[in-house]
Structure 1
Amino acid sequence: MNARILTRGLSRHRLAISCAMFSIALLILGGAQPARAELLRIGDPLCHAVSRSIAPDDTRPSHFVCNGDPDGYQKGTLWLHAALPQGSRDHEDLSLIIHSSRFDRLVVRFIYRDGAVEQQHVRSGNFGTYWRAGGQLAFRAPYRDVPVVAFTLRFDRVASAHLLRMRLVERGEEATQTTGLATLTGAALVLLIVGAIYNASLALAVRQQHAGWQAAWACCMVIWGACWSQLHLFFFPSMAGAVSAQICTGLSCLAITLATLSAVTALEKQHLDAGLRRTALGLTASVCALGIPLSLMRSGPFDMLGNLLGLLVLANLAAVASCIGQAWRRGSSAARRLGGAWALPMIVLASTSFFDADAMFWGGGSQILVLFAAAWQTLWLSAAASRAHARLRTERDVARLAEAKAHELARRDVLTGLPNRRGFMERTCRMLEGLPVSGGLVALLLIDVDWFKSINDVYGHEAGDHVLAAIGRCIAQHENSSCAVCRLGGEEFAMMVTGAEVGNIEQFAQTLRGTLADLSHGDIIGNRMVTVSIGVTASASRVDFGTLYRLADEALYDAKRGGRDQIAIRLDEWAGARRNDRPLFA
């Protein structure tokens, strides 16, 4: 019970910490938006020009179009141009932040009021010092005495103009934002790594299918987060640009597939309709089937297929939510755990399809939301798994304790509390096996209550039970490592003693007989004395219990025939030759 309460408390503390952490992160991300950040979009204020083939480096568009959407740029060059408001010195210290996408080359040209132009460029596979954590590229306008009045961007073979996100911020704000976003991205990745390790170890320990899928999903999200945030460029700088973007697309689809498999396989089959299960698995297979080719595309109907993939993801989420809801209504405990874990990621993924998060969260957009939602889900499932397995462990310990108690009760006499015949046989067998090969002595005493039937007949069976219980308490005092006691059944008791000499065993049997005769049962049977007859045998080591019992039983009959309330002894020749006065107990 204490373990269960402790586990429940730990799980709640983990959950509270997760909630607080995620809430603080959202407050930081949402509340720290720079007041001067300006999201740049095509048409407002970005104008565009297109070349259907890759233009020479010195080519400049003759004019830009400021309305409509660009077309035909995927295998050529796309220019974007924006003029900044005149008459302000706010544009003297600017940074242009671009969220990297699938392109071969990007050239940024800052145009100053005096006509000077400063040019910076990156290409796929080489972002140099321009990349920032959080999937961003930062281009700082070199400081001059005159302000920047315009800038032009040139993209060669960009996959989609609609996926480009750009912001203008002051240089100080750019450093603050990118540092904060890197810190939060790193924190989310650390949580995901911990969750991935925990779930992987759990999958290996319990060998459950859904735990394995969950571990694979967490690992997939760790890799996706590292690629999206560009932190992997510390180790693999040549993966910058299109390669990483393509990997991220494939990993996101794979993560959705693994998460769905984790949820569906965790739900018990009796709590979920087979048709609904097949629908969820079919939708996730469709997501994977469309996502893999989309991740390899560099041109073509990229935007249309992306929108179709988004609809499939929403349908997949709805199917998983329906599976969890149905299993929850039917009493599935796994569904209750999954409900809390999946609630936030579902809300996040669904909400990003209905509102534009690109300008939010320091430019992290929907990706940073997904990353924190994944960390939330991993923490929730880890805490839930810990609690569930701790509960199972507690139940197992309780079951083992109950089994041990039942095992002990099966070897104990209920009335007297002494071991019964079964328990006595097990104990004596171990005692006999532990004796030395030669030179040891073992004795067996059979104790029978005299005229016990008359006690039951005159005073009733309840009085007889009281007498037997009193005798059992007296005999139990002698139980130790060298003396085993028991109630064989009815009014017959037994004791086996090792490590004593025959003369001392005779003395011990006489003392025991007198002690039992002196027991007072006045409140039960008045002044009637209760006596016992004791049959004693002693033999050499390695003797079997059957031989001992036969000799002791014959001695007991000798005591009965001799008039009761006495002891009788039968010894083998070897034991008879060892009569001396060695103490009974060491």
Structure 2
Amino acid sequence: MRIPRALCVTLLAVFGAALLAGLSPAWAQVFNGADLCHATSPQPKSTDALPAHFSCEGTPQAYQDSSLWLRIPARDLPADIAEEPALLVHYSRFDRLDVTFLYTDGTRARESVRNGDFAGHWRIGGQLEFAPPVRTAPLQDIVLHFNRLASQDMLRLRLVGRDEAASRTTTLALWVGGALTLLLIGTLYNAVLAVSLRRQFPLWQAAWSGGMLLWGTIWSQAHLMLVPGLAGAFSAQLCSALACLAITCATFSAITSIGSHDVPRIVRRTVLTLATLCSLFGLPVSFIRTGPVDLLAAIIGVLLMLTMLSVGGCLAFAWRKGSAEARNFATAWIFPIILLSTADFVGSSTLFRGGGPQLMVIFAAAWQTLWLAAAASRTHARLRQEHAAARRAEAQARELARRDPLTSLRNRRGFIEMIEPILAEVTHGREVAALLLLDIDFFKHINDTYGHDTGDDVLVALARTLAARENARCIAARLGGEEFALLLSGPAALRAAMIAEDLRRTIAAARPGDPDAGGTVLPPIPGLAMTVSFGVCPAIPGEVFRDLYRKADAALYRAKHEGRDRVVVAAPGNDAPRDRGQLEPVSG
């Protein structure tokens, strides 16, 4: 499976267009906890009684172990919101939340959620929705009562129309679902890549994308569809812990992808140690409910940013040294990591239809995962191509080592390797074979009379004639000097003497420069002629090449001794050669 980079770019463009569409939603009134009138009190046994006084100056104090009350004025809401308002709460680190809607006629309506039970108020996109009942009397105020709120600075509240709230929820569900699906694909792909490549980088990348998948699922509250009892503060804290772990995995992924020769080892170890400390410190802090939560969150944020800057420095250093992996990471990694390192700890904006930077983190992580997966695929494909090319080159080198450089026929080594399996089949009675040795007559005279270049041309001409006869049942070779060999198998082996005689006549009939004499084209030199002598020996079961060659060579020697330009067949099973006529008749 290969993910094209063009697909990643296309997906990024689609995501960007979708997110930009969320930058200008219908009108919404946005509040931060510090913007509203507030009151604190011990945790009441009943929320029916509202505080008698709300302070609109300063910031609330000592509310983490008690109750915090916030009042949202609703008298001057625009008509489209005032008719059917919906309150969206984008923070869930509390034990209980009661939302009371006060009307101008003195009536009240209250809705409540608590840890482990958000009922029907949770929405995809990490938000809670509260909608007051429609009444004839206008809405006057909305009072929120939090028990053990972790931080009012991180609290985000939005007032929108119900239609707009439904539109936001649907849009966020589509965006989140698409991004989580891409993260799932990236996680599985990188896991498979880690197994196939046996490298740390894709393994850490799979851990990063898997952590982001889990983080996005919990942040968006999609997990409540399966485990509704996890609603509330624990899930929000778990998101912060996962953010620290994900950044640590991302750091390990980035650093291990860079070659050890691109970044000094001491620098690599320092950055990896810093990333590990981020998790060791961030995990326990993520689950703190009281105390200086905002300060600790800021410290973790600074620590994470230092880690990111260190990794960025390593990537820039390796990039300048020509590392392709560093370039891929630098272009795909920095943006989502910076967003992630700040989203949970530095407050949240109100963009992207209420999704805030967390939604952007999911999109950026999905894009980064696919981008790096595409880069890894390309690297993997290039490595496979290089490996295949190396194997082809190795095979070609092995083949060349078994070929005669002048004639391109197999040399002695290549010939023996090719015929050994055939001789083994002869031993088991499943094959018949015969060896033909041939030697150019008076080759020294050709060299001495016409020169060694002409002698080489004669060797090449004979090699072409033999090569033209090659097939699965006929293997040709130059064993050395002017000596050549053919191994015949199957039915051709039974006609070995006749084939040798046919070859002898064809070669003897060749004339200088004549292309029609069986493919044997001699150099166009007047008076040049070539004849060959053959020694033929049928193979017997259990016979190795050395013994077969010795008998064929003895037959060839006899052909030379008897006047050359003839075929002599060795008797099977006997070292003493005899004339071909004693084995089978040859016409002419």
Tell me the TM-score range normalised by the shorter chain. Answer: over 0.9
Name the structure 2 match of 1:186.
177
2:191 is aligned with 1:230: no
Say whether the 8 Å CA contact 1:501–1:582 is kept in structure 2: no
1:62 to 28, 31, 52: 52
Q: TM-score, normalised by structure 1?
A: 0.92
Alpha-carbon RMSD: 2.5
Which residue is 1:3 aligned to?
none
Describe how 1:234-273 pairs up with structure 2 within 5 A.
234-273=225-264
Identical columns (%): 44
1:155 and 1:487 mapped to 2: Cα distance?
Answer: 96
Other-structure match for 2:7: 14
User: Any residues of structure 2 matched to 1:361-510 within 5 Å, and which?
Assistant: 361-435=352-426, 437-438=428-429, 441-500=432-491, 504-510=495-501
Letter in 1 for 2:565: D
What secondary structure is seen at the aligned counterpart in 2 of 1:161? coil
Query: Which residue in the other structure is 2:527 paired with?
Result: 527
Aligned amino acid, residue 29 of structure 1: G
Q: Which amino acid counterpart does residue 150 of structure 1 have in structure 2? A: D
Residue 72 of structure 1: aligned partner = 62
Q: Is 1:28 aligned to 2:18, yes or no?
A: no
Relative distance call for 1:514 and 1:405 in structure 2 (3 A) is: same
Q: 1:317 to 1:501 in 2, by over 3 A?
A: closer
Letter in 1 for 2:70: L
Q: Specify whether residues 102 and 582 from structure 1 end up closer, same or farther in structure 2 by C-alpha distance, changes over 3 A only.
A: farther
In the aligned structure 1, how far is the partner of 2:363 from the partner of 2:78? 39
Q: TM-score, normalised by structure 2?
A: 0.92
Distance 1:502 1:238, change over 3 A: closer
1:438 shift after superposition: 4.4
Q: 1:20-43: per-residue Cα shift (whole Å, max 9, x none)?
A: 133223212324x22x20101235
Cα shift at 1:580: 5.5
Q: How far, CA to CA, are the matches of 1:112 and 1:249 in structure 2?
A: 38
Q: SS in structure 1 opposite 2:19?
A: helix
Taking the aligned partners of 1:388 and 1:519, their CA distance within structure 2 comes to 57
Say which is worse superposed, 420-429 or 513-522, in terms of deviation: 513-522
Q: Unaligned 5+ residue runs, structure 2?
A: 514-522
| Alpha-carbon distance between aligned partners in 2 of 1:271 and 1:546, rounded to the nearest angstrom | 56
Determine if contact 2:43/2:66 at 8 Å carries over to the other structure: yes
Partner Cα distance (2:46, 2:474) in 1: 104
1:221 maps to what in 2?
Answer: 212
* CA displacement 1:469-497 (0-9 Å, x = unmatched): 11111111222222221111111101122
Equivalent residue letter for 1:185: V
Distance 2:278 2:89 in 1: 28
Cα separation, 2, equivalents of 1:209 and 1:189? 24
Letter in 2 for 1:550: R
Q: What is the match of residue 540 of structure 1?
A: 540
CA distance in 2, matches of 1:267, 1:481: 51
Q: What is the CA deviation profile of residues 417-441 of structure 1, one whole-angstrom value per residue up to 9, with x for unaligned ones?
A: 2111111101111111122634964
Name which of structure 1's ranges 508-517 and 134-143 shifts more when overlaid on structure 2: 508-517
In 2, the alpha carbon distance for the partners of 1:120 and 1:43 equals 23
Q: Label 1:70 to 1:453 Cα distance change in 2 as closer, same or farther (>3 A).
A: same
Structure 1 unaligned runs (5+)?
1-5
Counterpart of 1:525 in 2: which secondary structure? coil
Q: Deviations over 1:250-306 (max 9, x none)?
A: 111111111111111111121112343233223323321221112221111101101
Structure 1 SS opposite 2:336: helix
Residues in 2 aligned to 1:269 and 1:180: alpha-carbon distance in whole angstroms? 45
The Cα of 1:84 is off from its aligned counterpart by 2.1
DSSP 3-state at the match of 1:362: helix
- Match for residue 136 of structure 1? 127
Q: 1:286 aligns with which of 277, 291, 304?
A: 277
Instruction: Kindly provide the amino acid, as one letter, of the partner of residue 544 in structure 1.
Output: V
**Are 1:110 and 1:148, in contact at CA under 8 Å, matched by a contact in 2?**
yes
Cα distance in structure 2, aligned partners of 1:320 and 1:213: 15
**Secondary structure of the residue that 1:554 maps to in structure 2?**
helix
Q: 1:137-189 CA distances to partner (integer Å, 9 max, x unpaired)?
A: 00011111122111100001111111111000011100001110111011110
SS in structure 1 of the partner of residue 438 of structure 2: strand
Residue 41 of structure 2 corresponds to which residue in structure 1? 51
Bigger CA drift: 351-360 or 123-132?
351-360
1:134 Cα shift?
0.5
Please identify, of 75-84 and 410-419, the stretch whose mean Cα deviation from structure 2 is larger: 410-419
* Residue type at the aligned position of 1:82: I
1:353 Cα deviation from its structure 2 partner: 9.9
CA-CA distance at 1:316 after TM superposition: 1.2
**Cα deviation per residue 1:59-96 (whole Å; 9 max; x = unaligned)?**
32120011211111111100001222359644121000
In structure 1, the residue corresponding to 2:404 is in which secondary structure?
A: coil
CA contact (8 A) 2:271 2:307 kept: yes
Of 190-199 and 53-62, deviating more is 53-62
2:520 corresponds to which residue?
none
* Contact persistence 1:440–1:541 (CA under 8 A): no
Taking the aligned partners of 1:218 and 1:347, their CA distance within structure 2 comes to 15
Once the two structures are TM-superposed, the CA of residue 573 in structure 1 deviates from its matched residue by: 5.8
- Shift of the 581–117 alpha-carbon distance from structure 1 to 2, 3 Å rule, reads farther
Aligned-pair CA distance for 1:19 = 2.7
- Other-structure match for 1:562: 562
Measure how far apart 1:568 and its partner are: 2.1
Q: Contact 2:473–2:492 (CA<8 Å) still a contact in 1?
A: no
